[in-house]
Amino acid sequence: MTIGNMGAFKIFFARLLTSVPEVMLAYQYMDTLTHSGALTVSSLLQDTPGSSLLQDTPGSSLLQDPCGRGGCDFQPDALANPPLWENHASPPPGRSLYDVDFYQWVFYNADLLRQGRFTEIDLENIIEELESMARRDRRELFNRLAVLIMHMLKWQYQPNRRSESWSTTIGNQRTEIGSLLEDSPSLKYNIETVIAKGFIAAKRKFEVETGISANTLPETCPYTFEQLMDYGFLPE
């Protein structure tokens, strides 16, 4: 595997690790384990795209308060023994580690990558997870555009009910869509198709929420991508 490919896998695992709540909790305590020989996640996340997911993003407070307001009984001493992914048990016959323990599978393959043992990684399932990650990004873009368009329709067709809540939702969706496209610029290549599909979904939701027939709306989305993303634009 080339250095470039190795970097791509590091990026993948950096994003994957931060998408698992239990992993985010464990991350807070990982660096305390170096004295016992355990590998840290820091080297995996350092200076790789996606590492910012641990900072300055909604939900990153989990690193400061991993158990939430309700508290929990988790103690750092619970990790004093070698981590699970360092001493993983063999899965049952006919089953893979990926099938029986995804959490452990992530760390085990991350360790293999760090050690340069590329012939031992679970390449097939890693590819599947990479493709699944791309599909999640596309779904998120579609869902956020649908919400944005629906609120802009409500703003335009229900002027007497305009509220700060609506304008806040519009602004938040623009911000999240912008961040998503900044992280994955190629999602913009088919943006008009996504907008068209998002408009269909938005019309259905608009009809349900307002009681106004979707037949009164245009056949195609009345807003351009530039207007959808323009913080200064609200339809009249």
State pLDDT tens for residues 115-137: 999 999 999 999 999 899 889 99
- 3-state SS assignment for residue 101: coil
| In-domain check, residue 181 | yes
| In-domain check, residue 79 | no
| In-domain check, residue 1 | no
pTM exceeds cut of 0.85: no
| In-domain check, residue 148 | yes
| In-domain check, residue 200 | yes
The residue segments making up the domain with residue 197 are 136-229
Q: How much is the pLDDT for 210?
A: 95
CA 215 – CA 10 distance, rounded (Å): 49
Q: Are 104 and 17 spatial neighbours (Cβ–Cβ below 8 Å)?
A: no
| In-domain check, residue 195 | yes
Lowest mean pLDDT among 45-54, 63-72, 83-92, 95-104: 45-54
CA 10 – CA 49 distance, rounded (Å): 9
Number of domains in the chain: 1
In degrees rounded to 5, what are phi and psi of residue 232?
A: -90, 0
Name the pLDDT band for 53 (thresholds 50, 70, 90). very low
Q: Is the pLDDT of residue 21 over 70?
A: no
| In-domain check, residue 187 | yes
| In-domain check, residue 191 | yes
